[in-house]
Amino acid sequence: MSDPIDRMLDAAESGKSIIKNRESLHYSYKPPIILHRESELEQVTQSLLPILKQSRPSNLLVYGKPGTGKTLVVRRVIDKIQERVEKSDFPIKLIYTNSKEETTLYGLLVSLGRQLGLGEEELPNTGLAISEVFKRLLTKIRNGKLNAIFVIDEIDYLAQLVAKTGKDILYQLTRANERLEEGGSLTLVGISNDLTFKEKLDPRVISSLGEEEVVFTNYDVEQIKKILQERINESFIENSVNEPALNLIAALAGGEHGDARRAIDLLRVAGELAERQQSDKVTVEHVREASQKIEENKEEKSLKSFPLHEKLVLIAIMKANGSSTGEIYSSYKNLCKIVGKDELTQRRITQMLSEIELSGLISGRLIHQGIHGRTKKYKLTISSEMIKKSFKDELTLQDII
């Protein structure tokens, strides 16, 4: 009997590979042509044009749901400007950072500083006050008379960091030019997935951040189909994706809000599943399986990212005798004892339940209890298996799941 590993490796070597170019299925891939985004490309270019005429562009806010091509378009325009800058002697610095990937304000500012050319001696990785870090960025811009464009992707996360720390760096960034009068300039390009993003900001920030705005509309199912077709031609060998499979991917991704990134993810996972099963075509079944796999991965990732007490609350819901806030709290207190952690107050746990409910992993409903007032009952919307699987590697929790 042949070894199962050998069997798999033989199949991989001699087997059919229907994917010819994996890079073009990766989310960071920049396609040579950006489909269905002509007007957005024009508006973003128009907005940043002044920098080539040696004057400061307005701050720009780019909105749109996830997967509508915002980052792609902004980066394409920035790359094109960069090509021209290299040929001119006007000192322009184009800098990109994603605030979801930087978990602290300090980290985000250091990432901007490094791209401006500040080494670790001028800007250490830790230890300075936020205002000092900011001052050093501005000094670098002023001394080099640089005209900087800071692109901050997923700027909603930066706004959350600002709210948490109370350090209103957004206000300082939008006002930077008042401090740069002797030389240099700073333009901010914010990219946001949240259409209500502006409502959450300090009114002083709103007026200066949103000097210009570009809203990206959602792709429709037909447009997603064309984007997929283009990507299939680049990534798969000919005739290896069934028409019904393509239609289903477009329907699944277009049905939500026209998310092209989700469509390409589905295509990639379905293609990998088809290859693993030694199939020479991607079928509707592969797409359904891929969709389920992506959903499960998303839940698991979100469970793993919760802080310890949120995890304890989820396990408490799983184990409680009943599901009212009080019953969950006593289950939670019990778990804290077992793992040797100090419990949080019932008020904080009630608040936490509402926060977890927003993530969709639990659902709550109000129950009226006559003269006893009302209580909220919670239940998991995911399986307890999923919770056990996600938390099994966490030492603190091993004894209680």
Q: Residues comprising the binding site for ATP?
A: 68-72, 219, 231
Task: Note the helical H segments in 122-242.
Answer: 130-143, 155-165, 169-174, 203-209, 221-235
Topology match between the domains 38-216 and 306-400: no
The predicted pLDDT at position 2 comes to: 67
Burial of 279 (0-12, 13-18, 19+ CB in 10 A): middle
Place of tokens 């007007």: 39
DSSP letters along 213-240, please?
EEEPPPP-HHHHHHHHHHHHHHHB-TT-
**Are the beta carbons of 390 and 304 closer than 8 angstroms?**
yes
The predicted pLDDT at position 391 comes to: 94
Which tokens sit at 272? 């990998």
**How far apart (Å, rounded) are the C-alpha atoms in residues 356 and 361?**
7
CA distances from 319 to 312, 322, 337, 358 (A): 10, 9, 15, 21
Burial of 127 (0-12, 13-18, 19+ CB in 10 A): exposed
What is the CATH topology of the domain spanning 306-400?
Arc Repressor Mutant, subunit A (1.10.10)
The predicted pLDDT at position 370 comes to: 79
**How far apart (Å, rounded) are the C-alpha atoms in residues 315 and 309?**
10
The predicted pLDDT at position 76 comes to: 96
The predicted pLDDT at position 256 comes to: 67
Q: Residues comprising the binding site?
A: 68-72, 219, 231
**How far apart (Å, rounded) are the C-alpha atoms in residues 124 and 49?**
34
Which tokens sit at 28? 């960071």
**How far apart (Å, rounded) are the C-alpha atoms in residues 218 and 138?**
37
Q: Please give the DSSP secondary-structure letter assigned to residue 343.
A: P
pLDDT in tens, the chain (401 residues): 668 788 778 767 776 689 999 999 998 899 999 999 999 999 999 999 999 888 899 999 999 999 999 999 999 999 999 998 888 778 899 999 999 888 889 999 999 999 999 999 999 999 999 999 999 999 999 999 999 999 999 998 888 888 777 778 888 898 899 888 778 999 999 999 988 888 878 888 888 887 899 999 999 999 999 999 999 999 999 999 999 999 999 999 987 678 999 999 999 999 999 999 989 999 999 999 999 999 889 889 889 989 999 999 999 999 987 789 999 999 999 999 999 999 999 999 999 998 898 888 999 888 887 787 788 999 999 999 999 999 998 989 988 98
Sorted by where each begins, the domain ranges of the chain are: 38-216, 219-302, 306-400
**How far apart (Å, rounded) are the C-alpha atoms in residues 241 and 226?**
14
CA 284 centroid distance within chain: 28
Three-class secondary structure of residue 258 per DSSP: coil
The predicted pLDDT at position 71 comes to: 95
219-302: which CATH number, 3.40.640.10, 1.10.8.60, 3.40.50.300, 3.20.20.70? 1.10.8.60
Work out the angle at residue 73's Cα, subtended by the Cα atoms of residues 72 and 75, and round it to the nearest 5 degrees.
Answer: 65
The predicted pLDDT at position 255 comes to: 79
**Are the beta carbons of 71 and 223 closer than 8 angstroms?**
no
Q: Please give the DSSP secondary-structure letter assigned to residue 324.
A: B
The predicted pLDDT at position 368 comes to: 84
Q: Please give the DSSP secondary-structure letter assigned to residue 392.
A: T
The predicted pLDDT at position 154 comes to: 93
**Are the beta carbons of 150 and 111 closer than 8 angstroms?**
no
What predicted TM-score, i.e. pTM, was given to this entire model?
0.79
The predicted pLDDT at position 1 comes to: 62
Taking the CB of residue 205, how many other CB atoms lie within 10 A of it?
Answer: 21
CA 237 centroid distance within chain: 31
Which tokens sit at 235? 């990534």
In CATH, what number does 38-216 get?
3.40.50.300
Three-class secondary structure of residue 59 per DSSP: coil
Radius of gyration of the chain (CA): 25
**How far apart (Å, rounded) are the C-alpha atoms in residues 72 and 31?**
9
The predicted pLDDT at position 8 comes to: 72
